[in-house]
Amino acid sequence: MNPLRQRPRGLSRIERQALEWVRRIGAGQMTHRDGDALRQWCKSNPAHAAAFTAAQRQWQDLAQAGRQLLEQKPMAARPEPKAAPAPVHFPRRAFLGGALGTAAVASVAMVYPPMGMWASVSERRGDYRTVAGEQRHITLGGNVGVEMNTRTSIALHPRGRVAGIELIAGETAIDMSDTSRPFAVTAGAGRAVAARARFEVLHTADSVCVTCVQGVVQVAHPTGTVTLNARQQVTYDDRKLAHVVDLDAARMPAWREGFLRFAETPLGDVVNEINRYRNGKLVLMSRQLAARPVTGRFRIDALDKAIAQIQQSFGLDARHLPGGVVLLS
C-alpha cells in the first residue's frame, strides 16, 4: 500500500489533505484545474500552506535520498546531463506570501519531475495523453486507429502532404490496414510512414523503436532510410539509425494483449519497462544485476506480483518508500 494513502496516527485533517495533494502530484494525476484548486486551498488558510510546505519537504527529501542512492550505486553508466532548461518564472501577482509560494513549488515540481516520476512539461503539451497504467484508443480522420499505451503523449499533425501525429513520449500502435492514404508518426529525430499497415512506435528518453506488425513501413532518419516488413524492427536515436532486426513471435510487443513480454532482456531494461506502467519508481541498486537476462511474461494489471517474482528470483531485498518508490538491492 502507498504510505501516502494511509492515515498516519496523530495527523490532523489538514495534514492528511496536504499529504493527499503531494500523493496526487507524485502519481502524475494533477490537471490544470487541480493546480488551480491547490493554489486556492493554500490561499484559503495559512495552516493549509504550512501543512503543504511540510509535505513538500518530505517529498523533496525523498527525491534527494533517491538521487544519492543512485549516485552511490549507479545501475549503469549514464551520459553527461544536458543543460537544464531555462527556469520557469511565476508572476508576482499570482502569489500571496508563503502560501502561494508553496504552491509554486508544486508547479516547479511538475516542470522538473524528480526521478522522472510524472509527466514533464513537453509531454503535457500533447493533444492526447495517458497516465501511468492507462491505455486509450482514438480514431483519426481517414479511419486511422491510434492505440495509446501508458504514459503517452501525442500531438496531432493534420496538415501537410502526409497526415500524422508526433509521438512526444510513450508508445502508440497505428492501425491503418484499410487505409491507402499515407500516415506518419514523427518521434525524436525520425519519422515512420506507412499505408495499409499496422505498426508500433515506442519513444523513450534515449531512443525510438519502430516495429512493423503488418504491411510495409518506411523509417526516415537524418542518416538514412530503411524499409520494415512484418515482424521487423528498427531503433534510432538523435545520432544514428540501427540495423533492421527480424522478430519471432516471442519478441513481438504484447502490451495490447495486456502483457509485458521479455526474452533474454537485461534486468535493467525490465525495470525501466515496468516503471512506465506504475505510479512511483522501481529502482535497481545493483549495477551487476542490471545485465542479468530475464525471460517471462507479466500481466500489466498485476505488476506488484511481477516485482515480487523478480525480487525472489534474484534474491533481492525490497525497501518500500513513500510515493510508490521501491528500492531493490
* pLDDT at position 166 over 90: yes
188 touches 208 (CB < 8 A): yes
Reported as a single tens digit per residue, the pLDDT across 96-151 is 334 444 444 444 444 344 444 444 444 455 689 998 889 999 998 778 999 999 99
Reported as a single tens digit per residue, the pLDDT across 1-31 is 444 444 434 567 888 788 777 777 665 556 6
280 touches 304 (CB < 8 A): no
Reported as a single tens digit per residue, the pLDDT across 184-228 is 999 999 999 999 999 999 998 889 999 999 999 999 999 999 999
- In this prediction, residue 29 carries a pLDDT of 59
What dotted CATH number matches 258-328? 3.55.50.30
What dotted CATH number matches 143-251? 2.60.120.1440
Average the pLDDT over 82-107 and give the result: 40
pLDDT grade, residue 68 (50/70/90)?
low
* pLDDT at position 65 over 60: no
| 249 against 36, higher pLDDT | 249
Helix (H) or strand (E) run with residue 272 in it:
helix 267-275
| Pairwise CA distance, residues 52 & 45, whole Å | 11
Total residue length of the chain: 329
| Pairwise CA distance, residues 251 & 213, whole Å | 12
pLDDT grade, residue 322 (50/70/90)?
confident
Domains of the chain: which residue ranges? 3-118, 143-251, 258-328
3-state class (DSSP) for residue 207: coil
* pLDDT at position 93 over 80: no
* Predicted TM-score (pTM) above 0.85: no
| Pairwise CA distance, residues 183 & 154, whole Å | 14
Which of 60, 63, 129 is closest to 281 using CA atoms?
Answer: 63
When mean pLDDT is compared across 76-80, 264-268, 307-311, the lowest value belongs to 76-80
- In this prediction, residue 12 carries a pLDDT of 79
Average the pLDDT over 50-63 and give the result: 70
DSSP-derived pairing of the beta strands 144-148 and 163-175? antiparallel
Average the pLDDT over 174-186 and give the result: 90
Q: What angle do CA 53, 54, 59 make, to 5 degrees?
A: 95
Percentage above 70 pLDDT, the chain? 71
How is residue 153 annotated by DSSP?
E
Percentage above 90 pLDDT, the chain? 38
Helix (H) or strand (E) run with residue 46 in it:
helix 46-72
- In this prediction, residue 1 carries a pLDDT of 41
